[in-house]
A and B are shown apart, each in its own frame.
Chain A
Amino acid sequence: MEWRDEGLIIGIRRHGESAAIVEVMTRDHGRHLGMVRGGRSQRMQPVLQPGNSVACVWRARIEEQMGTLTVEPIRTRAAAIMGSGLALQGVNLLGALLRLLPERDPLPALFETAEIIASHLDDPAMGPALMVRLELAVLSELGFGLDLTECAASGVKDDLIYVSPKSGRAVCRAAGEPWRDRLLPLPDFLAATRLEAGASHADVLAGFALTGFFLERDVFGPRGVKPPEARRAFIAELQRLGSGQSLESLSGIPLGVTA
């Protein structure tokens, strides 16, 4: 068995004295593990860092085996990531979110999104908002996608400012007014009709609150696991950046996924 693909490194573990077990999110083969011989050598250690993109060749005798990976760097981002607390927590969160997905399930759109996020992790104007979108995409892949295209009550497509915690569907201002205390706020940049909207600091935090509610209820809770520490740390780092800081517009970002 052999395949070649592009992958984003999301995790590394030591294996024996000189090898490493590397976890990559690949374009056509999903999240995949493989052993890299000599992965702990001085030459390979800078390459085998989370956030780096690599060209991988996977080989195994039979498909069920973990197999071995040989990797060549395509884009090394680790040094830039290490320079920013937000990026460091972001790369940990990126790995934790992708790890929720089943192994070896090809998800090219999610791969593209993860690649874009990895390239913008050290940019507070883009990275956090993209991460919210990734969380929505992960929920969707796991079968718990939110419907943010139209109002669940009236069917209108404008002025969507709430999400029903029960159905995960958007609710417009008028229909949601009587129940506004029970509804979750929908930030502008996530509403399907307002994808061109910029994401303010408060919007991004509201986005994390929204995705956090559904991740907890539909993913972490049923699996009996706590939300990843990286998520709390990433949001804390974002809050530390200060509510006075406005995040630039996200328009024009080729996300590959939508809510």
Chain B
Amino acid sequence: MAERVAGPEIERLIQLLAKLPGLGPRSARRAALHLIRKREELLGPLANAMQVAKDRILTCSACGNVDTRDPCTVCADPRRDPAMLVVVETVADLWALERAAALRARYHVLGGTLSPLDGVGPKDINLDSLVSRVAEGEIAEIILAVNATVDGQTTAHYITDILSHLNVKITRLAHGVPVGGELDYLDEGTLSAAIRQRTDF
């Protein structure tokens, strides 16, 4: 077994860094050394930023987004169309759609998808709050921006089902050829979905 080369505090820092996505033990060690080398300009501000984040970050009670205020910046933005609601699986998806800046709508973060294999049922994701929001009557269209996976689409169908008694238009993202995609490299399923959902040109 390799001998320890640093004290328990540094070992602890390395262990915690190794839990971050994309970092293994070796890269965590490099990151720790980098932070230690840049103690004043990086380690201190990072520690402070993380402390502030820990103390102040909240989950928006309306949409499930994370922010430092509740309701979150997105929900509180008066320029967004209150009649349009985009349903996403995770906060990362919400951020991705915001980066695309394709629409000025409000969001609802499910916090996952229905997954029979993992035992995730309707009570385990934010579906009750979605129904309550839609039942308030302000929303005219729901865009189901869930992943094009079997679990994602099962969730989309379930949502369509539980909202069927409410007078709201439900749409979903198109499936097909990605920008920059070459047909030769696409799987047959995506190609057939693209053909089925072709649009006038």
Contact, CB under 8 Å: A82 / B116: no
Interface residues of B in 9-45 (CB under 8 A from A): 21-22
Residue interface bits B112-123, CB-to-A below 8 A is 1, else 0:
000011100100
- Complex alpha-carbon distance, A186 and B199, angstroms: 47
Q: Which of B82-90, B126-134, B149-157 forms part of the interface with chain A?
A: B149-157
Residue interface bits A48-63, CB-to-B below 8 A is 1, else 0:
0111100000000000
Cβ-defined partner of B150 (8 Å) among A17, A47, A82, A96: A82
* Least Cβ–Cβ distance between B90 and chain A, in angstroms: 13
- Complex alpha-carbon distance, A95 and B154, angstroms: 14
Q: Which residue of A lies closest to B117 (CB)?
A: A11
Contact, CB under 8 Å: B149 / A92: no
Contact, CB under 8 Å: A46 / B150: no
Contact, CB under 8 Å: A82 / B148: yes
Contact, CB under 8 Å: A79 / B116: no
Residue interface bits B80-121, CB-to-A below 8 A is 1, else 0:
000000000000000000000000000000000000111001
Q: Given the known A-B contacts A73-B187, A92-B150, are A17 and B116 also in contact in the complex, defined by CB atoms under 8 Å?
A: no
A32, CB-defined interface residue at 8 Å = no
* Least Cβ–Cβ distance between A167 and chain B, in angstroms: 32
**A residues whose Cβ falls under 8 Å from a Cβ of B:** 11-13, 17, 23, 45-47, 49-52, 73, 76-83, 85, 88-89, 91-92, 95-96, 228-230, 233
**B residues whose Cβ falls under 8 Å from a Cβ of A:** 21-22, 116-118, 121, 148-150, 153-154, 157-158, 160-161, 175, 187-190, 192-193, 196
Report the 8 A-B pairs with minimum CB-CB distance, sorted nearest first: A79-B189, A76-B189, A82-B153, A85-B157, A79-B193, A46-B187, A11-B117, A88-B154
